[in-house]
Structure formats: C-alpha cells, structure tokens
Amino acid sequence: MCGIVGAVSQRNIVPVLIEGLKRLEYRGYDSCGVAVHQDGMLRRVRSTSRVAELTGLAAEDGVASGTGIAHTRWATHGAPAVHNAHPHFSQGPGASSASVGRIALVHNGIIENHDELRAELKQRGYVFSSQTDTEVIAHLVDHLYNGDLLEAVQQALPRLKGAYAVAVFCRDEPHRVIAAREGSPLVLGVGGAEYGENFVASDAMALAGVTDQICYLEEGDVVDLQLGRYWISRRNAETGRFEAQQREVKTVHAHSGAAELGPYRHYMQKEIFEQPVAIANTLDAVNGISPELFGDGAYRIFKEIDSVLILACGTSYYSGSTAKYWLESIAKIPTSVEIASEYRYRDSVPNPRTLVVTISQSGETADTLAALKHARAQGMTKTLTICNVATSAMVRECELAYITRAGAEIGVASTKAFTTQLVGLFLLTLALAQTRGQLAEADEAEHLKALRHLPVAVQAVLALEPQVIAWSEEFARKENALFLGRGLHYPIALEGALKLKEISYIHAEAYPAGELKHGPLALVTAEMPVVTVAPNDALLEKLKSNMQEVRARGGQLYVFADGDTQIESEPGLHVIRMPEHYGALSPILHVIPLQLLAYHTACARGTDVDKPRNLAKSVTVE
C-alpha cells in the first residue's frame, strides 16, 4: 500500500529516494512520484508505471536536489492516473499568487473529511487538479502558511479527520521537511554527519543502506527534519499546544525487500518452496515448550487468562481460525476468532481475563492494529502477537510476541507467512496447554517431534508439484470453483479458495463439507470443480458421504487425500495422494498443494501473480 520516503541532505538525494521507493514496492502500488526543492521551485516527476521509470524521468528533466519527498500510491480516492499520483502541489488562489506551487506533500491513509475541506478551500480560491483526498492537505497547509512550515503543519493537523502519515516541504524553506503520523506508520532515520542528512519513511526497510539509526514515531508525532538536526513534537490534548518529545533512536538491521528471485519465475513460487526453511527457522530457538517462548512475563499472563480472542485479517484470519481448533481441543481454552475490521466496530462483551492475540505478517495492517487498540480500550490489556516483522507496530504495541522467521514475503499472496504463523500458533497452544496442566510430558515430546519433522514433511508435499500442474491446466479454463473441508481443515479450504481468487481471478468459495446440502450443492454441475481437502482424520467417513453428494450430481471432484485414506481415482474423482496423515499438524501440509494449485492456475491464465490487480501487500489504510 502507499509508501513514503523523504529526506534532507547536502547531496543529491533523488537516487536515495527512488531506491527507498523500490524497497517499498513489495507493498503494492499503482503510481509513484518524487518531488524536490530545486532552484527556488518545486519540481516533480510522476508515473503510473514502475518506480524504476522515475530514474529515467528525473534524469531527463534534470530533477536533482538535497531536499525531497517520494511516494508509491495505492489508489483509494481517484483512479490510478498521473494527475492523482503524489507528490501533490498546492495551487492556490489565482495563477499569479505567490502561493502557487508553494507546498509539496505526500500522504498515506485516508482523510475522511476531505469533501468538507475541499469545499472550504475551493471557496478560498484553491484549484484542485486531482480527485484525491490528499490534495486538500497540501492546500490547507498552504493556506495556513505564514513563513514557518512547522507551524502551518501543526495548525493543519487538528483539522484532519482520519488516518495519515504525511511528509511535506515548502518552496520558501529549502532545507526542511516536516512529517507527521496519526494512524499510519512512519519512521525517522537519522543519517550520518557527512551530509547532515535525515530521513522519514513508511518503514525502516525503505532506509536500509542509508541508515540503520531508526526512531519509530508515535501516534500524533510531528517531526521537523533539517540539515544535521531534527525535532519531534506532539499536541497536548488539554492545552492544544505542541510540546517537544524525546524518542529512542535504535539500531535496526532492516532487511531489504528486494530479495533475489533466483531460479524461480515469481516470488510467490519462491516463497512456497521456501516453506521448509521458513518453518525450520521459526522453530530454531525452540528447545522445549515454555510460556517464555512468547516473552518475559508470559507465564504470569497465561496463568491469569480464561479465554483467547484472535484478531486478524485475510490469510492471517484463516491461520487464527485453524488455531481455534487446536486451542480448544488441546489447551481446552475457549477461543473466538474475529475479523479485525468487524470486531473494531462491533459491540462485544469484553472480558479482562482474555488473552488478545493478533496475527499479522506485516505487523502494520491498519484494521488489525485498530482492533487491538479497541480491545485494549475495553480493558483487555493482555496482548500477544504472532508476527513476521520484529520491528513492526504490532510487535511494539503487544506485551508478548512470537516472531515467525518466514523472511521477507514479497508476493502479495501470503504463503510462507501462513504456515509459519500456524507453527507459532501451535507452539502457543502447547504453551497454554502446559500452563493449564493439559499437556502430558509424553504428548509434549510427540508434538515436538512432529514439529521438528515438519520441514521434511513439507518438502515431500512440494514434490507433488508436477501432479498439481496437470490439474491447474484444467482449472485455468474454469470461472468458478468450490472448496470443501471439515473441522480443522475447513479454514484450509477457505485459505485455498482465497489463494485461487486472489491471483487467478477465478471465483472460488469454500464451505464446510457438511453445509453442501444446505445450499451450495445447487451450484454443482459437471462444469464446477470441487476441490476437497481429505485428511485421514476422525471426520473422513463424513467427508466421503459429502463427496458422494457431489458425485451423484455429476460434479467433478479434485481431492487431496492422505496416503492412508484408500480414496482412489475414478471417473469424476481425481485424486492426488498426499503423505500419510500428519495428525494435529496436518493443516500445514494440506495447504501446500492448494497454494501450488492457485499459483500454477494463475500462471496458466497469465495473470500478474506477485502483484494481483487491485491488491496491496501491506494494507495500511482502513
């Protein structure tokens, strides 16, 4: 989703800004741009193509300066088009006015009262050249500007409703960038003395290579970047005045998102095949089960809770939905799982003895962060996150954490993040079971053995790829698909359907197989492929009856069956044989062929697998 980079330096900073945008590309975007302060004017280049194009455009136009801001945009208000791309310049009242082209601004987030502000600014003579909510901020800052950019921004911010991170500079103050955040992430990067440079960016990864001295700005922070100095302030809600703030600057070794593709065609394929290593890395520090795997003080917190509430979105929600089965059957703890964007606006009954667990690959998902805050505001202060980014807002906001070690996930479709989340959630299940006296030593040893063997088991499932490719050629010709699962594997069916729709654009729906006859069976014809997740578990015989219901209506079944199920191929029943049943951890194996099926179907349809239309990797707006 939108990414911001800004800098003040004594060297030409344009290549650094563009490199920063490249490192944010993985978030997903549909246009990009850079603006600088040059020869007493604002200059910019913008594009609806890739970030790499900005280098050529900047060189052609001779755009170079030490002060600038840059942006990748994921359209919310206004189509993806050059005139809507950031940075936006103020244009205001009257073409001859001194304020024309005075303010340059980039923004991440959504300004909810933009219509009202737009009407007011139009009345004052401001001219709008985009459909974005962002342009109103540039005009508002311009309107309030009276020789001090910091003051103008500080006066503008209380008028904005919604979420934002902004970076702004002014034609009349050559070596200054002001940035602010409320609801969208932003970091300050403190540069070396050589160029006296300082930076802001949406995340530390954007600054990898220029500085590892990172300060995570807090909600409401405004930072004034100048050569060799910076100053952070925040509004005191009682007095309305902005007061200086001290923030810790940490050494952060952020990894670049621009990982090499190696022999793979897409990042998604690479990430699917990285799962054995990602799981092994996630388990690396686990020598036994103990609450302390989740941080100091975990034992005390685990002792105080009587239920679990999981909050997440998308694929992370499905890993949470799988974990509910584990938590209730193994740890015997009541668990509810909520879609973060629903929970945050729902009247629910808070229980202070609940452990609130957020799950997130990025750790920056706006809905999940807001749901966490909502839970805390209701007195549920025992919080834990399962997250893939150690430096993310989610990890900073939660009391306890388990960091999955999937490594950078670039493909928009989440794969290795999902399976490593499941590993983290299974460890949480065992730690809670142990704390609650529900885990016999022998069972603990068995579970640990199965976890340690997982990378090898996953490798064996990945070897099924050629068989999945053969199926994907048939799927590529379909426009609809049904996915069935039962119990612990119903969320896996949901995840398989999400993967297929997300990257191949085939309409796919998942059902618990027992629900078929309550409605979706009406959709079943010879044209409807029905993908079935068939582990050899206690529900297998029930599932076989559901499969008969499909066969009796001429439906085509595509079944991923455990090796010990005795389900054989026959006309209308296509079977790919998985390894033998893997017990409680079986969902981690069964999701792999569904990822491969979605991936190869998308390849056969020729879609943009790593950057599917309309989607972003990191969803930092509501």
CB 5 within 8 A of CB 24: yes
Whose CB is nearest to ligand M6R?
A: 314
Task: Give the torsion sign (CA, 570, 576, 577, 583).
Answer: negative
8-state DSSP, 217? P
* 9 versus 414: smaller Cβ distance to ligand M6R: 414
For ligand M6R, give the closer residue by CB, 289 or 494.
494
Residue 361 or residue 532: which is nearer to ligand M6R going by CB? 361
Among the listed residues 270, 382, 499, 617, the single catalytic one is: 617
CB 334 within 8 Å of CB 306? yes
| Residue 550, φ and ψ in degrees, nearest 5 | -70, -45
* Least distance between ligand M6R and beta carbon 360 (Å): 3
Residue 78 CB, shortest distance to ligand M6R, in Å, is 22
Nearest approach, Cβ of residue 499 and ligand M6R (Å) = 7
For the bound state, the minimum distance from the C-beta of residue 76 to ligand M6R, rounded and expressed in Å, comes to 15
User: Which residues make up the interface to ligand M6R (CB under 6 A)?
Assistant: 313-316, 360-362, 365, 368, 412-414, 502, 619
Closer by beta carbon to ligand M6R, 93 or else 109: 109
Nearer to ligand M6R, 20 or 314 (CB): 314
Q: How far apart are CA 170 and CA 147, in angstroms?
A: 10
Q: Which among 196, 168, 171 has a CA at the least distance from the CA of 108?
A: 168
Which among 233, 125, 272 is positioned nearest to 589, based on CA atoms?
272
Mark whether 398 is an active-site residue.
Answer: no
Distance from C-alpha of 409 to C-alpha of 266, rounded to nearest angstrom: 12
| Least separation in angstroms between CB 622 and ligand M6R | 12
The whole-angstrom separation of Cα 44 and Cα 311 is 41
Q: Which residues contact 378 (CB under 8 A, 6 or more apart)?
A: 348, 350
Dihedral over Cα of 215, 416, 21, 253: its sign: positive
Residue 606 neighbours by CB under 8 Å, 6+ apart: none
* One-letter identity of residue 337: V
**Residues written for the chain:** 622
CA-wise closest residue to 247 among 263, 262, 230 = 230
Residue in the structure block whose two tokens are 């008969």:
548
CA 579 to chain centre: 32
**Closer Cβ to ligand M6R, 91 or 404, answer by number:** 404
Least gap, CB of 220 to ligand M6R (angstroms): 23
Token pair listed for 68: 């600038």
> Is the CB of 217 or the CB of 413 nearer to ligand M6R?
413
Of the pair 35, 481, the CB lying nearest ligand M6R is at 481
Distance CA 103, CA 101 (A): 6
Please identify which residue in the block is written with the tokens 């970047």.
Answer: 225
Q: How far is CA 155 from CA 87, 142, 188, 411, in A?
A: 21, 11, 21, 40
Shortest distance, position 562 Cβ to ligand M6R, whole Å: 25
Phi and psi at 613, nearest 5°, equal -55, 145
Q: Assess contact for 134 and 111: CB atoms under 8 A.
A: yes
Residue with tokens 């006309």: 571
Q: Which two tokens stand for residue 135?
A: 């342009």
Q: Which residues pair with 482 in a beta bridge?
A: 509, 530
Q: What's the closest the beta carbon of residue 20 comes to ligand M6R, in angstroms?
A: 20
Residue 516 or 598: the one with the smaller Cβ distance to ligand M6R is: 598
Residue the block writes with tokens 């199920």? 565
Output the DSSP codes for 120-157: HHHHTT----SS-STHHHHHHHHHH-SS-HHHHHHHHG
CA distance 316 to 406: 14
- What is the torsional sign of CA 177, 180, 184, 188? positive
Residue 398 backbone phi and psi in degrees, to 5: -95, 150
For ligand M6R, the closer CB: 198 or 414 = 414
2 is catalytic: yes
Please report how close the Cβ of residue 205 comes to ligand M6R at its closest, in angstroms. Answer: 14
Shortest distance, position 315 Cβ to ligand M6R, whole Å = 3
Q: Give the active site residue among 2, 32, 170, 215.
A: 2
Q: Which residues belong to the active site?
A: 2, 617
